[in-house]
Structure 1
Amino acid sequence: MQRSFYPTQTQAKLPIKYGPWLQMFALSISWRALTYLKHSTKNPYVSLSPAAEDLLPTIPDELHTLAEARRVEWGKALLLGQAPSDQNDQHLLFLNGKNFPYERSGVVGFTVCIGNSIAAIVSQLGPCCVLGVLRDERPLAWKGTRIQSLGGKFHVVSQTIPEDFSTWLYNYFRNIANIEGRV
């Protein structure tokens, strides 16, 4: 099952065109977040509430090998300055604050999404989310989100995300609202 996702309403002219730089930008964001998350430990500096810990989990042991392979692959692409043309593991979602209860488009941070069919590094940059996919059993369920290595267009009328990621995103925003005391 897929879920339609309605991005932010923008004053920009549609479609939004981008070049190969966007794939490299997304790779750099995903690589940095993955490097931190892969080598972090729970509560490295201070004790967090359970809800806050859910927002910044460590990479589960069973994903360490896959996470390291992706981290090395993304790092090589960054050093070469060019993502392989077959690399379709970076997605960009546009938020508008109305897709989920408690959706926040003003958050800046990163975390890891672990679901039944997906594992990804999620970096939220205000009204956009960059996803660096570690594992995806439903790659065809994404519509209008994939960043192409040679450039492309985002039509930004609607995007479709897999149900598993939709459920995770709902819980992510709910946890943020819980920390802020809005739930």
Structure 2
Amino acid sequence: MADNHNLQNPHAILVAYPLQGHVIPAVHLAIKLATKGFVITFINTQSIHHQISKSHSSPGDDLFAGARKSGLDIRYTTVTDGLPLGLDRSLNHDQFMECLLNVFSAHVDELVGDIVRRSDPPATCLIADTFFVWSSMVAEKHKLVNVSFWTEPALVFTLYYHWDLLRENGHFGGSGT
């Protein structure tokens, strides 16, 4: 008979792209996985956390306070995106995108390393939004399985995937545009 006393729940680290249309599906995924026995560590940006906290009556709560009260093991932590908390990211889009590509990844890498070293049960995978092009490198560095999470409709994925073919066949973006 197998020795089952050492079996632990899988532990996923989940990183959402810091825009509302990406965070909400990531929150739903975190809760769904937790109901199936996963331990989840959800990494959110400090700026998104700050926006959410301002809109809640209990400022100490995070997105998963209610889920934890129901017995789900969802841990929550924040990380800087590299920009000052007060900076309006929607008005500074280019700077925000630059930081997400070149600065945020280093902060996430460091935090994932800390989680991997200290977590119990040990982290087993990194689930990151598909828009993060660096997540596979972070996962590989920390010996985690990399899972790419697509938060948009399947049609949008298909359009992105076939972008060149659609242009080539003249479905949009005709010559010179």
TM-score under structure 1 length normalisation: 0.20
Greater helix share, 1 or 2? 2
TM-score (structure 2 length as normaliser): 0.21
Bigger strand share: 1
